Amino acid sequence: MKSLIRSSVVCPDYSKGYPLISYGEGIYLYDESGKKYIDGSSGAAAVSNIGHGITEIADIMREQASRVSILPTHVFSARVVQDYLDVLVDFAPAGFEKVWTVTSGTEAVENAVKLALQYHQIRGDKRRHKIISRNISYHGNSIFMLDIGGMPLRKKMYNNWMNHFPHISAANLYRKPAEISEETYVNNLLAEFEQTLLDEDPYSFSAFVVEPVVAAAMGAAPAPSGYLERMHSLCKKYGILFISDEVLTGFGRTGARFGINKSGVIPDIIATGKGISGGYFPLSAVIASKQVMEPFVAQNSFFLGGHTYACNPMGAAVGHFVIEYMEKHKLIENANNQGNYLKEKLNRLYNLEIVGDIRGEGLLIGVEFVKDKKTKEPFPSEMNISKRIGELTMNAGVILYPGKGSCDGFSGDHLLICPPLIINNSQCDTIVDVLESCIKKLQDEILNT
Ligand SMILES: Cc1ncc(COP(=O)(O)O)c(C=O)c1O
């Protein structure tokens, strides 16, 4: 059942109607006609980590709203907020000391970058005004974050406000030159990073922003082995803060508390969001290491941030519940187990002519489609391959998250598979069966025309 979008509603595609969802339960969404979908994208995307329709959260929100939902935070805090912030710090890697919440991933990464800029300023290092980041990455949708991100298709409308800071190459093992080893590839990326710093004066940089697994921009591309560790060491060498953008990779998505954890790197600042509240409340957070906060504490100075909904009690109540729920139901372990299971089952998709790569960590998995498997040539962007496969799977009752630009920022089609972390084996099987038949269908269509 499709309903036409009302004229008052802003939506991405005015030409089509969207089914109206009436409720969700576990990994499923149900539209008004009763059709059932597997939410294999967990919202847009990787948000509903704990699943839909958990009534205990509704109870907690009702209870908190009837107590107090917002505070004059310039003069008050509340125990529910303080307790939650302590729990959040404990959830972060060792050495993290301070945290505050905001409401979107964009705000969290932007606040993390502002914290890094302020850190250098209050230490008297006024030169460090630049940020370094990577091509084919996504850090949020404000003008500032679009500039720091590396998605040309999203930036082009705002080109006059872009290009303040340098971007280095993406690290994408699938697109590594075939003739070099992974180690040489990483050496080259490191050399490029250091040369970019030296060309611009390394001491003019304040922070390096990185997604440990590049999610929507590159289709769940994990970092090559040793890459994050060595980038981190290079940042240390020049006094550049390392910001891990964990908006999508945080809260168990990759089979660890944070995506960076598997590398053993302890970043200076973590920006996180999405799964932090499982989608039950707009919530995100900046978590800062003791070392970053030291100059603020020593100078009795504070971070110049401030948003209306920062550290609000409703978000704290929901966020606290989500951490306890994840731990009680061992969702991080399940993300690892089901992620391995799903990837193993997906391997048979390599038999299909247009499936070039299957990759990812935990329950953040990407499938990249190519026109030519040998040369890895992508499909022309205007063929909208991933979007069309996404439409087919949706008709068949499985929602996935299509993306474009994984090859060079413009072309390269991929789909993210990132279901709630509560998923089980047979539900994974259904996703694989549906995806396989939909790819076959589109493949037959394009190869026969
Ligand atoms: C890695 C990353 N950073 C930042 C953001 C921005 O988060 P939000 O859409 O909540 O502002 C996203 C959103 O997809 C993301 O994936």
Residue 16 pLDDT class (50, 70, 90 cuts): confident
Minimum-distance ligand 1 atom for the alpha carbon of 214: 1
Residue nearest to ligand 1 atom 7, measured at CA: 105
Return the pLDDT at 9: 65
Q: In angstroms, what is the span from residue 40 Cα to ligand 1's centroid?
A: 18
C-beta separation of 105 from 247 below 8 A: yes
Confidence (pLDDT) at 294:
96
- Separation of 251 CA from ligand 1 center, angstroms? 14
pLDDT at 10 (0 to 100): 65
Residue type at 155 in one-letter notation? K
What is the tens place of the pLDDT at every residue in 397-431? Answer: 999 999 999 999 999 999 999 999 999 999 999 99
Domains along the sequence of the chain with CATH:
21-50+330-447 (3.90.1150.10), 57-328 (3.40.640.10)
Q: Judge residue 383's burial from the number of C-beta atoms within 10 Å of its C-beta, 0-12 exposed, 13-18 middle, 19 or more buried.
A: middle
The residue-averaged pLDDT of 27-33 equals 97
Q: Region 75-84: what's the mean pLDDT? A: 97
Question: Is the pLDDT score of 290 beyond 80?
Answer: yes
Residue range 231-251: average pLDDT?
98
Say how many Å lie between the CA of residue 212 and the centre of ligand 1: 13
DSSP letter string, 95-136: TEEEEEEESSHHHHHHHHHHHHHHHHHHTT-TT--EEEEESS
pLDDT digits (tens, 9 = 90+) for 317-337: 999 999 999 999 999 999 999
Residues 6+ apart with CB under 8 A from 7: none
pLDDT over 80 (residue 3):
no
Average pLDDT of the residues of the chain: 96
Q: Which of 444, 438, 376, 305 has its CA nearest to residue 38?
A: 438
Residue nearest to atom 16 of ligand 1 (CA): 248
- Contact criterion met (CB below 8 Å) for 253 and 421: yes
pLDDT on residue 305: 87
Helix (H) or strand (E) holding 65: helix 55-67
pLDDT, mean of residues 374-390: 97
- The predicted pLDDT at position 7 comes to 59
Could you tell me which residues come within 8 angstroms of residue 30 by beta carbon, excluding any fewer than 6 positions away? 21, 22, 23, 24, 36, 37
**Best residue among 48, 102, 109 to mutate for probing ligand 1, ranked by most atoms within 8 Å of CB:** 109
Neighbours of 204 (CB within 10 A): 15
Tell whether the model's pLDDT for residue 4 goes beyond 60.
no
Cα–ligand 1 centroid distance for 422 (angstroms) = 22
Q: For 88-95, what is the mean pLDDT?
A: 96
Whole-number Å distance, alpha carbon 406 to ligand 1 midpoint, is 17
In the predicted model, what is the mean pLDDT of residues 118-137?
97
CB 110 within 8 A of CB 144: yes
Q: What is the DSSP string of 424-447?
A: -HHHHHHHHHHHHHHHHHHHHHHH
pLDDT value of residue 6: 58
Query: Averaged over 239-245, what is the pLDDT?
Result: 98
The CA 365 to ligand 1 mean position distance, Å, reads 17
Residue of the nearest CA to atom 10 in ligand 1? Answer: 105
Compute the distance between CA of residue 434 and CA of residue 398 in angstroms, rounded to an integer.
Answer: 7
The confidence band for 207, taking pLDDT boundaries of 50, 70 and 90, is very high
Q: What integer pLDDT is reported at residue 41 of this predicted model? A: 98
Residues with a CB atom less than 6 Å from ligand 1: 104-106, 109, 138-141, 211, 215-216, 245, 247-248, 273
- What pLDDT does 8 receive? 64
Helices 313-328 and 55-67 pack at an angle, to 10 degrees, of 150
Q: What is the DSSP letter of 46?
A: I
Instruction: Give the model's pLDDT for residue 449.
Output: 76
Do strands 36-39 and 364-369 pair parallel, antiparallel, or not at all (unpaired)? Answer: unpaired
pLDDT tens column, 260-270: 999 999 999 99
Question: How would residue 287 be classed by pLDDT, with cut points 50, 70 and 90?
Answer: very high
Q: Does residue 15 register a pLDDT over 80?
A: no
Distance 273 CA to ligand 1 centre (A): 8
Q: Atom of ligand 1 at shortest distance to CA of 145?
A: 4
